[in-house]
Amino acid sequence: MKQQIRDILARHGGLPVPMSEIADDADLYAAGLSSFASVQVMLGIEDAFDVEFPDNLLNRKSFQSIDAITRAVTGLVGKTEAAA
Amino acid sequence: MTLTVGKGLTERAERVSAVAAAHADDVDAKGRFPREAVDAMIAERLLSIQIPVALGGEDASISEIAEVCSVLGQACSAAAMVFAMHHIKLSSLVSHGAGDAWHSTFMRRIASEQLLLASATTEGGIGGNLRNSICAIEIDGDTCRLTKDATVISYGAHADAILITSRAHADAASTDQVMTVFTKDQYTLEQTHVWDTLGMRGTCSDGWLFKGEAPKAQILPKPFAEIAAQSMLATSHLLWSAVWYGIAVNAVARAQAFVRAAARKSPGVTPPGALRLAEASNLLQLVKSNTIAGLKEYEAAKADPDRLSSMGFAVAMNNVKIASSETILSIINQAMLICGIMGYKNGTPFSLGRHLRDAHSAQLMISNDRILGNTSNLLLVHKQDTSLIG
C-alpha cells in the first residue's frame, strides 16, 4: 500500500524533491505539498483504492505524512471490506 | 449559541467611530493614514481587547471584535480596516504564541503600549498567493535576518511592529513558511510602491523593501501553514466581512434618510426609492446573517484545531467572504439609485461615492477568483454540508 501511495504522491504531489528522498514519517507539507496538490493526491487515492474519504479525515493531519495517509487508507479499506 | 457584546465595548467603539467619521472624507481625499481614529482606538485601548486578561488584555471574542469593526466601518472604512488587520495579526499571536515566552511578553507590551501591528504576506513574484514565499529567513546563531520585497504592507510606515512571512530556511520549499515578529526598531523600510487607489485610500498599503534583524525567538513556533489555516484566513474573512457590512449599513442608513425626507415632504405618496430601500434592507440582512453564521462557526471550532484545519471549515469561511464582498456592492448600488444625484455627488449628507469605491476593494483583497478556485478544488473531495441547523 505504501508503495502505491508513494506512486500517487509522485504523480500528483508536485513535490520539488524525488519521493525516494522522503521518509515515511516526513512532513509532506514541509516538503512542499500544496493544498491544491493534496486534493489531487486524495483524488488519486480514492480512485486507486476505491474508497471515499469522509469529511472527518479531510484535514491536514490525515495527509501530513506517508504514514498518516497509510493509516487513513487502511481504516477506510477495512471498513469497505467489512461492509462487503 | 448566542453572540454577545459587552455594552462598554460598544460605547468605546462608538466614541472612536465619531472621531473616524469626522475625518473620513479627508482621509479618503488625501489618501492619508486615519491618525485621529487610530489615536482614538489607542485612547480607548481597543488595540489590545483580544489579548488574554492574564497578559493585560480583555479576552474579547471574535464576535466582539467584529462588532467594533462594523461600528467603525459605518464611519470610515480605512480606519475600520486598519483595526481589522491589526486584530487579524493579533489573532495569530494569541492563537499560536500564547505558550511561548517571547510572544507572551510581546503581547503584554502590545497591551501596555497599545502597539499597532501590520502584516507583510505579499511579495513580488508570488502572484498573490500568500501561502508561497520566495524570501527565506536566515538564521545565524540566536539571530534571524530577513529581506523581503513586500509589494504591499498596509500602514507599514505607521505600524509599531510587522508580522512577516518567509520560507523557514534557505533550503525550504516555497510552501514551508514561518511568520516572524519584527518590532519597529528592528527593521528598515524603503518605499517601492505608492498606494494611490480607487478606494480604501487611507490604509496606505504602500510597497516596501523590508530589511530586518531580530532574535530568532521572535519567529512564531508554529508553521505558517497552520497559522494561516487556524487563525489568519478565518479571522480575515470574518473581520473583513464585518467592516464591509458596516460600510453597507451606513450606505443603507443614508438611503433610508433620503427616502424618509422625501416621504415627509409628500405625505400619502410613497417615495420612488422606497421599494429599492426594501430590497437593499433585504440584502443587508443576508450579509448580516452570513457574517453571524461565520462568526458562530469560528467560535464553535476555535477550541478544536482539527476542525479549524478541516476542509468544511475552509469552504464555509471562503463562502462567507465571497458572499459579503459581492453583496455589499449590490446594496451600495441600490442606495446610490435611491439617493440619485445627491448620492453621486460628494459633500452631501447622502454621498455614497466613498462607500462605493471602498467597497470595490472587497472582491480583490484576496481575489474572489482565487478563493473560488480554492473552494472548487476542495469540493472535489469535500462533500457539501446538507444540514440546515447543524
Q: What is the pLDDT of residue B304?
A: 84
Chain B residue closest in CA terms to A46: B381
Q: State the best of B129, B175, B383 to mutate against chain A, taking most chain A CBs within 10 Å.
A: B175
Task: Report whether pLDDT(A80) > 80.
Answer: no
Q: State the best of A39, A46, A57 to mutate against chain B, taking most chain B CBs within 10 Å.
A: A39
Per-residue cell: A45: 487515492
pLDDT band at A81 (very low <50, low <70, confident <90, very high): low
Do A46 and B381 lie within an 8 Å CB cutoff? yes
Q: Which helix (H) or strand (E) holds B162?
A: strand B161-167
Q: What is the pLDDT of residue A84?
A: 53
Chain A residue closest in CA terms to B167: A30
The dihedral built from the CA positions of residue B272, B273, B275 and B276, taken in this order, carries a sign that is: positive
Q: What is the pLDDT of residue B4?
A: 73
Determine whether B160 is exposed, middle or buried from the number of CB atoms within 10 Å of its CB (0-12, 13-18, 19+).
middle
- Regions of chain B with pLDDT less than 70: 1-2, 7, 390
- Looking at domain A2-83, its CATH superfamily turns out to be ACP-like (1.10.1200.10)
Distances (CA, A) of B20 to B41, B89, B259, B346: 10, 22, 26, 18
Delimit the domains of chain A by residue range: 2-83
Q: Which CATH architecture has domain B224-378?
A: Up-down Bundle (1.20)
Q: Which long-range contacts (CB under 8 A, 24 or more apart) does A20-27 make?
A: A22/A66, A23/A66, A24/A65, A24/A66, A24/A67, A24/A70, A25/A65, A25/A66, A25/A67, A26/A65, A26/A66, A27/A64, A27/A65
Do B309 and A60 lie within an 8 Å CB cutoff? yes
Q: Tens of pLDDT along B114-161?
A: 999 999 999 998 877 888 999 999 999 999 999 999 999 999 999 999
> Radius of gyration of chain A from Cα atoms?
12
Q: How many CB atoms lie within 10 A of CB A7?
A: 13
Q: Which single residue is written with the C-alpha cell 472527518?
A: A56
**Strand pairing class (B117-120; B161-167):** parallel
- The minimal CB distance from A53 to the residues B168, B374, B381 is found for B381
> Could you tell me if B370 lies within 8 Å of chain A, comparing CB atoms?
no
What DSSP character marks residue B386?
Answer: -
Task: Report whether pLDDT(A40) > 80.
Answer: yes
B285: left (phi over 0), alpha (psi -120 to 50) or beta: alpha
What's the pTM value of the predicted model, to 2 decimals?
0.94
- Topology of domain B7-115 in CATH is Butyryl-Coa Dehydrogenase, subunit A; domain 1 (1.10.540)
Q: Which single residue is written with the C-alpha cell 454540508?
A: B385
Per-residue cell: B334: 441600490
Q: How many angstroms separate the CA of residue A84 from the nearest CA in chain B?
A: 23
Residue B188, helix vs strand vs coil: strand
Per-residue cell: B99: 505558550
Q: State the best of B311, B376, B384 to mutate against chain A, taking most chain A CBs within 10 Å.
A: B311
Q: Tens of pLDDT along B254-283?
A: 999 999 999 999 888 889 899 999 999 999
Cβ contacts below 8 Å, chain A against chain B, sum to: 56
Considering only the top CATH level, what class is B118-218? Answer: mainly beta
Q: How many CB atoms lie within 10 A of CB B325?
A: 24
User: Which residues belong to CATH 1.20.140.10 in chain B?
Assistant: 224-378
